[in-house]
Amino acid sequence: MDIKENTLEDSNIMLDLRDIHKSFFIGTPNEFEVLHGLNFVVNKGEFVSIVGQSGSGKSTLMNIIGALDRPTSGEYTLDGVDIEKAKDSELSALRNKKIGFVFQTYNLIARTTALKNVELPMMYAGMGRSERTERAKMLLEQVDMTPRMLHKPDELSGGQKQRVAIARAMANDPAIILADEPTGALDSATGRMIMDIFHKLHEEQGKTIVLITHSPELSQETQRIITLKDGDIIGESAGNWNPKAKEVE
């Protein structure tokens, strides 16, 4: 694997997107452009939300940020790695080591235990069996899932599944956590609990988190809100996130 690290060791930039365009071909010669040249930067340790209605292009953007897809044109650098130049196998390694995905529908592998699910990214990273089991247990403890770690996904509640998914996202200590509507399928109390875990990861471990959501209220909890509409960024604003205020509480 040949992922070239940024020569600027002390760079504070985690995500750097410049003039990102994305088009889909829906039968030649029709071309449908979803993203019309986006520019934004996410700094290390930042908790950012990307908000938009459905059809705004936020899913497409998430795929590009998550290195699941490549932009049609534009430059995207993730933690110093130029996505455009990376081969498919390098993108796999990138997703494995630098990105922790949290999906709305949890996407746990059925038929295997919570523990095995958390071990999976470490297995793909080539970590030894005992080492990854140990780490998976530690991660599950962080999300209070130790008592149910040997249960299979269909024996877990939605909130429990999402906690396992967050533990899995943390498996290879990624540069960013990419959460796509993580509370979308949960009731408000459970959703609250999941958001608290994100806050904890952000504050205590300094994780960079990108939250993609359609909910303006949820986005208010983050440091910075990027609003997307019809494939353009129509605004950037600061959220109500205030760690000091939280501490007072």
According to the binding rule CB under 8 A, does residue 97 interact with another protein?
yes
How many CB atoms lie under 10 A from the CB of residue 230?
A: 13
Distances (CA, A) of 221 to 194, 216, 238: 13, 9, 10
According to the binding rule CB under 8 A, does residue 172 interact with another protein?
yes
Question: Which segment (15-23, 41-49, 94-102, 239-247) binds another protein by CB under 8 A?
Answer: 94-102
According to the binding rule CB under 8 A, does residue 129 interact with another protein?
yes
Q: Based on CB atoms, which residue is closest to another protein, 69 or 82?
A: 69
Tokens of 52: 């938009």
Per rule CB under 8 A, count of chain residues that contact another protein: 29
Q: Based on CB atoms, which residue is closest to another protein, 116 or 224?
A: 116
What is the rounded (10 degree) CA torsion for 51, 56, 62, 65? -100
Question: Which segment (34-42, 116-124, 133-141, 185-193) binds another protein by CB under 8 A?
Answer: 116-124
According to the binding rule CB under 8 A, does residue 112 interact with another protein?
yes
Of 33, 34, 44, 37, the closest CA to residue 18 belongs to: 37
Q: Based on CB atoms, which residue is closest to another protein, 29 or 126?
A: 126
d(CA 40, CA 25): 25
Contact 211, 218 (CB under 8 A): yes
- State in angstroms the smallest separation of the CB of 113 from another protein: 10
Tokens of 180: 């796509």
Q: Based on CB atoms, which residue is closest to another protein, 88 or 204?
A: 88
Q: Based on CB atoms, which residue is closest to another protein, 72 or 107?
A: 107
User: How far, rounded to the nearest angstrom, does the alpha carbon of residue 151 sit from its chain's CA centroid?
Assistant: 25
Q: Based on CB atoms, which residue is closest to another protein, 1 or 138?
A: 1
| Residues 149-168 as x/- pattern, contact with another protein by CB under 8 A | -------------------x
| Residue of 20, 46, 71, 101 interacting with another protein (CB under 8 A) | 101
According to the binding rule CB under 8 A, does residue 185 interact with another protein?
no
- State in angstroms the smallest separation of the CB of 1 from another protein: 10
d(CA 22, CA 193): 35
Of 25, 22, 10, the closest CA to residue 83 belongs to: 22
183-200 b/e (C-beta count within 10 Å ≥ 16 → b)? bbbbeeebbebbbebbbe
Tokens of 163: 């906690």
Please, which of residues 40-79 interact with another protein by CB under 8 A? 63, 66, 68-69
Applying CB under 8 A, the residues found at the interface with another protein are: 63, 66, 68-69, 88-89, 92-93, 95-97, 101, 103, 107-112, 120-121, 123-126, 128-129, 168, 172
